[in-house]
């Protein structure tokens, strides 16, 4: 990756905060910091997946992010922005996007303490998803940390049915079992990510 001077970046219109974020991102990639890069890339991951879906020539739908939906008049917006990240408006097909840079895929998160998040939902101190918060999880999990995004190699797609924890009824796994990850990987050896996502969308719509 070519090193750009701070002067060049400022001339390109970047603010000092944006320049600092870019420098931090490059350091994380250089150091192969799988722990912190997921935190840094979570929000940009939603944009990446949205762009991939909306610009695809084969995926038959487009999606909007939570912040875009908040601007739609009369749309019942979740101000906590929990559960799902991308939505197909016509069918309410909900996608959860996660970036996971390590060898495991954990689904726990930090949420505010409330009646909803007590008991079985937070047995570990973090909160696990209930089994009706989204329809499909798209996990960005690149084989190595880089500056590129390639859906063919960098994502795994899970229908929510595969993520339900049989030992914690009504909730999803805290950590996705390796067998489930291997199943998703094997599925994507036989079908493209676009086709898998399209099949799940059609199934959601009863097609």
Q: CB atoms < 10 A from the CB of 36, how many?
A: 13
Q: What is the pLDDT of residue 79?
A: 52
CA distance 115 to 53: 35
Percent of the chain topping pLDDT 70: 77
Give tens-digit pLDDT for 123-149. Answer: 444 588 999 999 999 999 988 877 788
Assess whether pLDDT exceeds 70 at residue 122: no
Annotate 153-189 with DSSP letters as a single string: HHEEEEEGGGGB-TTSTTBB-SB--HHHHHHHHHHHH
Q: Are 99 and 41 in contact (CB under 8 A)?
A: yes
Query: What pLDDT score does 54 carry?
Result: 97
Dihedral angle over CA of 110, 112, 116, 122, nearest 10: 40
Instruction: Quote the pTM value.
Output: 0.81
What average pLDDT score do residues 32-58 get? 82
Residue among 120, 203, 198 nearest 164 (CA): 120
């Amino acid at each position: 990756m070519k090193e750009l001077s701070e002067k060049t970046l400022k001339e390109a219109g970047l603010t000092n905060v944006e320049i600092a974020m870019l420098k931090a991102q490059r350091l994380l990639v250089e150091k192969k910091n799988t722990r912190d890069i997921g935190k840094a890339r979570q929000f940009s991951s939603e944009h990446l997946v949205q762009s991939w879906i909306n610009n695809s020539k084969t995926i038959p739908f487009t999606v909007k992010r939570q912040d875009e939906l908040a601007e739609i008049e009369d749309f019942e917006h979740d101000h906590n922005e929990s559960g799902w990240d991308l939505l197909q408006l016509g069918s309410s097909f909900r996608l959860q996007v996660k970036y996971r840079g390590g060898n495991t895929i954990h689904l726990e998160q930090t949420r505010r303490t409330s009646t909803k998040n007590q008991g079985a939902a937070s047995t570990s101190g973090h909160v696990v998803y209930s089994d009706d918060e989204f329809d499909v999880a798209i996990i960005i999990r690149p084989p190595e940390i880089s500056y590129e995004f390639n859906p063919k190699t960098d994502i795994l797609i899970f229908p929510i049915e595969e993520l339900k924890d049989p030992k914690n009824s009504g909730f999803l796994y805290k950590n996705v079992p390796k067998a489930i990850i291997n199943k998703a990987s094997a599925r994507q050896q036989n079908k493209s990510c676009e086709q898998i996502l399209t099949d799940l969308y059609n199934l959601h719509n009863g097609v």
